[in-house]
Amino acid sequence: MAGNTPPVGVLALQGDVREHLAALTALGADARAVKSPADLDRVAGLVIPGGESSVIDKLSRIFAVREPICERIAAGMPVYGTCAGLIMLADEIVDGIAGQLTFGGFDATVRRNAFGTQLDSFETELAIPALGEHPVHAVFIRAPVVERVGADVDVLARLDDGRIVAIEQGPLLGTAFHPEVAGEHRFHERFLQKVRAAS
């Protein structure tokens, strides 16, 4: 499926990096860990994994990848963010720690830890027409939620109470949940389609 896709990366500073590498590899992609600006230069798209957004922010500065990632996003690089990765792609965050920065890209406001603690993690089935008729098994772990979207942002999924948990804007894709944990690869395939289209 993804044999003609250029190399893609998973930001490997913190979080569930291995699961994303495995999901992308299962789809036939040349998936690589990205820890440095040189690593970033070698990939045509990037996945930002779930983990702790404040830690990813701090480590991105320490490893000097923050500015290069921001520049690549601004230049149109396809990026898929899950959970903390979705927070990192938001132009605005609510309940961030003092001084917390994001990479930006999504004209959206995302609230950290919108569902409470690790004990409030849950799983559910989501209808996502953009991915086909079969529902998506969504795993929420200390998940964020999208509180505001701009005019150019497409909402892909909502919970039953109306809260937004998956969005798309041009080359950017974001989910508040973890498809890679549930063995759900349709979002990763959608990301790879964006990479192929951009290249």
| Residue linked to tokens 């951009």 | 198
Taking residue 39's Cβ as centre, other Cβ atoms within 10 Å add up to 18
pLDDT for 2 beyond 50: no
Range of the domain at 135: 8-198
Angle subtended at Cα 40 by Cα 61 and Cα 68, rounded to the nearest 5 degrees = 45
What pLDDT does residue 114 have?
A: 86
Rounded CA gap, 180 and 40, in Å?
Answer: 21
As for how many domains the chain has, the answer is: 1
pLDDT band at 115 (very low <50, low <70, confident <90, very high): confident
State yes or no: is 178 an active-site residue: yes
pLDDT in tens, 80-107: 999 999 999 999 999 999 999 999 999 9
Q: Is 70 a catalytic residue?
A: no
Give the tokens for residue 124: 């559910």
Cα–Cα distance list, 98 to 59, 129, 146 (Å):
15, 38, 20
Inside any domain, residue 167? yes
Cβ atoms of 131 and 115 within 8 Å: the answer is no
Q: Active site residue: 180, 184, 185, 189, which one?
A: 180
Q: What is the CA radius of gyration of the chain?
A: 15
Residue positions counted in the chain: 199
Domain annotation covers residue 101: yes
**Residue 3 located in a structural domain:** no
- Identified catalytic residue from 20, 168, 178, 188: 178
Looking at the domain assignment, is residue 163 inside a domain?
A: yes
The whole-number pLDDT of residue 3 equals: 54
Instruction: List the CATH number of the domain containing 111.
Output: 3.40.50.880
- pTM exceeds 0.85, yes or no: yes
The active-site residue out of 19, 20, 83, 189 is 83
- Asked if residue 2 belongs to a domain, the reply is no
**What are the tens digits of pLDDT across the range 54-68?**
999 999 999 999 999
Hey, what are 10's tokens? 């998973």
Per the CB < 8 A criterion, the answer to whether 46 and 198 are in contact is no
Q: Does the pLDDT value for residue 1 go beyond 50?
A: no
**pLDDT tens-digit profile of 148-180?**
999 999 999 999 999 999 999 999 999 999 999
